[in-house]
Structure 1
Amino acid sequence: MSATLTVVGLGSGNPDRLTLGIIKKLKAAATVYVRTAEHPVMAALKELEIHSQSFDGLYESLDSFPEVYEAITSRLIGEALSAPQGTEIVYAVPGHPMVAESAVSLLRQRCPEAGIELQILGGESFLDEAFVRLGFDPIEGFQLLDASGIRSSQLQPELHTLIGQVYDSFTASETKLCLMELYPPEYEVIVGHALGVEQEERILRVPLYELDRLDGYGNLSLVYVPANRSEDARKRTFARLHEIVDTLRSPEGCPWDREQTHESLRKNLIEETYEVLETIDEDDPDHMKEELGDLLLQIMLHSQMEEELGTFSVYDVIEGLNDKLIFRHPHVFGGQNAADAEEALKNWEGMKAEEKRLKGIKPEAESALSGVPRDLPALMKAYKLQKKASKVGFDWDNTTDVLAKIREEVDELQEAIETGATAEEQMLELGDLLFAATNIARFIGADPEEALTRTNRKFVSRFAYIEQQLLNRGSSVKESSLEVMEQLWQEAKAEERK
């Protein structure tokens, strides 16, 4: 058997708020431990002749807060197991034991396993003082976040937000950077130091960008971000986007959006994809931002249609993608390793095959060419088919053989044209030539789609040069001879080399 372990809260800092029951527990305890001696109530405990041992030394000797909390938990459990049965060990923490106390959470998990009786007595939380001193009602919507692990995905502007554990300027800076992903730099926030503690309390209102420029951060510091239910505050959230698309498709929404189907929007999805690709080719971030939004809208609309049918929602899409990314990256989220991109790709392909097995599909029973989308553009599809075939050894040995095949296909196309073969036969010979030309891309490490895109861009640029030069001469391509246009074409090539 072991001693009883009791956790008590010392309140937010005002000694007058200590309950009589907690004082009695502290006085009667065989041993009293406190998480930190850096708390205003400690002076009152000393006056009451309540002696204690603090864990402040762990904060100095260990590298991270999780290590500190783990060490505190292990120490308390060890002390309880070794103490005489019937005695009581008290662990006193600032505020309320169930608010922002990681070691208490660990004790609640491990004490039952160790056969230790654990009692928890509440104290006034810093939240109680925050509600009073900062003047907001949590029933309006409220969230409490930890500055040491804050993420922008946690932020909900329509809620009152308290951020605790703002120990120093560094955590204040991290908090500021996180908040600025959603709030404007000028947004007013409130910093509270030692709320409710006489002669120590300070409440400061500052624009967000000044948050880490203040002095005085410590164990009793917090940041309050008032609720903002304006449209501007919500427009950067995914939830608002989902809400807008839902409204557009609703009976009170847009007649055009309501009429759309997967089939009617099919071409839009393709067009928006190519418009994104164009911004990538142009290296135009501002235009890319806009076009990515248009592409995202297509995904939202298709997901919304299925949500209306009850099959899935966009959040199911996100969940499936998250699961897939984690599952297919065992070298990141699991125990495997990947020294380079090639090894990472092998892991990806291996996990894809494992996914199929989990679904009852036997990858080994599928065609080596399976998995290539039916409706890919022909050039891209040819490239993917050839890559899959090459993985099972159906491939040329070297570039010389591929180039010889290209010449062979050119000869066959020429023969079909010169002998007056049917239009269908000539088209098939042209397809063979294009397919063979696509093959060389893999051997020189080029994407044929990108190669042809660059050539298209080069052609447009050179032809624009011809048109401009002719315009400067008071002429046009319709009025010019082929010889003149060829001369200007060569000039355009020469300009590119400069």
Structure 2
Amino acid sequence: MSASITVVGLGSGNPDRLTIGILKTMQRASKVYVRTLSHPVIAALNELEVHPDSFDHLYEAHDTFPEVYESIASALINLAKAGDEGQELVYAVPGHPMVAEATVRLLRERCPAQNVTLTVLGGESFLDEAFVRLGFDPIEGFQLLDAAELSASLVQPQLHTLIGQVYDMFTASEVKLALMELYPDDYPVIVGHALGVEGEEVIERVPLYELDRIEGYGNLSLVYVPRSDDSKLRQRTFARLHEIVGILRSPEGCPWDREQTHESIRKNLIEETYEVLETIDEDDPEHMQEELGDLLLQIMLHSQMEEELGTFTVYDVIQALNDKLIYRHPHVFGESHAEDAESALQNWEQMKAEEKRRKGLSPEKASALDGIPRDLPALMKAYKLQKKASKVGFDWDHIEGVFQKIEEELGELRQAVAEGQSERDTALELGDLLFAVSNAARFIGADPEEALSRTNRKFVARFSYIEQQLAAQGKTLQESTLDEMEALWQAAKTETREN
């Protein structure tokens, strides 16, 4: 058998708040250890003939706090196992043992497997002092966050927020940056040092932007952000977006939004998608931000309609997407590997096939052309059909075969026009030619939709040049000859050449 470990809390810093039970536990212990001597209670313990050993030396021996905590937990367990049955080792930590104390969590996880008896007693938490000294009731809504792991996604402005473990100005700077993603730069926050400790307590109210410009940060520091019901503070949150869309569709919301159905706004989804693509082509990030928001609204509206029917919510959409991304990237979230983009794509396709098997579908029985949306633009769809056919070997060996096919289809189109075939038959020949041209794009590694889009932009730029030059001469297009326009077109090739 081994000695037992009893964990006690030293409280927030005021020695008068130590309980009699905890004092007696430390006084009767075979040995007392503290995580750190940097605590106001230590001097009082020495006066009471309690002289603990500390693990401060481990802070110097390791580069990160997790490494320190691992070492402390291991050291305590080894000390207990080396002790005799009946001996009690006391491990005293700042505050309450169960509040923001990683070493205690590690002991709770490991002691049972090591046959070491572990007892955790209480202690005054820094939370007790915070509620009193900062003057708020946690029943109104409260969250405690760790400065070391703080992100804007964790912060809920409608809750009182305490951020602990703000050890230094660097940590305060990280806290400031995270909070600024939600709050205005001048939003008032409160910094507390050594709350409840006579002669050491400092409480400062500062604008958020000054959070890392004040002195005094240390082991007993925290940041308090008072709760607020101001909806503007939630404007950068997804939850607020979901709330707004729900309001728009509610009986008290917008009459137009209430009347919409999947079918009535179907075209909007397509239009907004193309508007996003236009901002990408124009390399306009500011406009792109706006258009991405319009596209997101369409997704939110369709999801809200289904939420009203009870089928799914936008959060179900997000969960399904997260599950899919994690599952299809085993080289990122699992144990597989991908050395390049090609092997990553192979992993993706393999996981897609496995998903189908789990749904009772047989990838082997599916058509090689499955998975292409029915309503894709025709040129884009042709490109994707050819790519899928190519994967199973239905393809030319060289691009020369594609060129011959283009010439063949062009000849058949010429013949159809010369023979005066029906409009339908001539259009089919034109489609065959476009399909063959799309294949050429695949062989040269170009997306035909993108290639044609660039040509469209080039045509618009050159034609606009013609209009501008004619306008400068006091002419309109209708008043100009074809030769004049052709001459300006040739000039436009130089003036509007793409970079």
Q: With structure 2 as the length reference, what TM-score do the two structures score?
A: 0.97
Paired with 1:150 and 1:184, the residues of 2 have a C-alpha distance of 17
- For 1:120, the equivalent position in structure 2 comes to 120
Shift of 1:4: 2.3
Asked if 1 retains the 8 angstrom alpha-carbon contact of 2:462 and 2:496, the reply is no
Quote the offset at 1:84 in angstroms: 1.4
1:349-378 per-position Cα deviation (integer Å, ceiling 9, x unaligned):
121112212222221221111111111111
> Alpha-carbon deviations, 1:433-460, whole Å to 9, x = none?
0001001111111111111111111111
Q: CA deviation at 1:334?
A: 1.1
Q: How does 1:60-459 map to 2 (within 5 A)?
A: 60-459=60-459
Deviations 1:239-258 (A, max 9, x none): 11111111111111111111
* Structure 2 CA distance for aligned equivalents of residues 497 and 449 of structure 1: 20
Q: Deviations over 1:13-35 (max 9, x none)?
A: 11111111100000011111111
The Cα shift of 1:473 comes to 1.7
Instruction: Tell me how far 1:398 sits from its aligned partner.
Output: 1.6
Deviations 1:100-134 (A, max 9, x none): 01111122222233333222111111111111111
Superposition map of 1:3-22 within 5 A: 3-22=3-22
SS in 1 for 2:212: helix
- Between 368-377 and 105-114, the greater mean CA deviation after superposition: 105-114
Letter in 1 for 2:380: M
Offset at residue 280 of structure 1 (A): 0.9
Q: Write the deviation string for residues 296-335 of structure 1: whole angstroms up to 9, x where unpaired.
A: 1100011111111111100111111111111111111111
2:34 aligns with: 34
Cα distance in 2 between the residues matched to 1:329 and 1:490: 50
Equivalent position of 1:493 in the other structure:
493
Q: How far, CA to CA, are the matches of 1:358 and 1:55 in structure 2?
A: 52
Consecutive unaligned residues in structure 2, runs of 5 or more: none
Instruction: Give the stretch that moved more between structures: 105-114 or 276-285.
Output: 105-114
Secondary structure, counterpart of 2:97 in structure 1: coil
Q: Provide the identity percentage.
A: 73
| RMSD (Å), alpha carbons | 1.3
Deviations 1:446-482 (A, max 9, x none): 1111111111111111111111111122221122222
Q: How many Å apart are 1:497 and its aligned residue?
A: 4.0
Write the distance in 2 (CA, Å) between the matches of 1:167 and 1:31: 29
CA distance in structure 2 between the aligned counterparts of 1:57 and 1:357, rounded to whole angstroms: 56
Deviates more, 1:18-27 or 1:163-172: 163-172
Amino acid at match of 1:372: I
For 1:61 and 1:355, the matched residues in 2 are separated by 48
SS of the aligned residue for 1:232 comes to helix
Distance 1:49 1:359 in 2: 69
Give per-residue Cα distances to partners, 1:265-324, cap 9 Å, x unaligned.
110000000011111111111111111111111000111111111111001111111111
AA aligned opposite 2:413: L
2:33 aligned counterpart, secondary structure = strand
In 1, distance between residues paired with 2:237 and 2:182? Answer: 8
Contact kept in structure 1, 2:167 and 2:217, CA below 8 Å? yes
**2: CA distance, partners of 1:5 / 1:32:** 10
Shift of 1:64: 1.9
**Secondary structure in structure 1 of the residue aligned to 2:445:** coil
Post-superposition offset of 1:228: 2.3
Paired with 2:407 and 2:54, the residues of 1 have a C-alpha distance of 84
Which consecutive unaligned segments of at least 5 residues does structure 1 have? none
Amino acid at match of 2:157: P
The alpha-carbon deviation at position 226 of structure 1 amounts to 1.5
Q: In structure 2, give the amino acid aligned to 1:484.
A: E
- Deviations 1:337-357 (CA, angstroms, capped at 9, x unpaired): 222222221221121112212
CA distance in 2, matches of 1:366, 1:54: 67
Once residues 85 and 305 of structure 2 are traced to their aligned partners in structure 1, the CA distance between those partners, rounded to angstroms, is 65
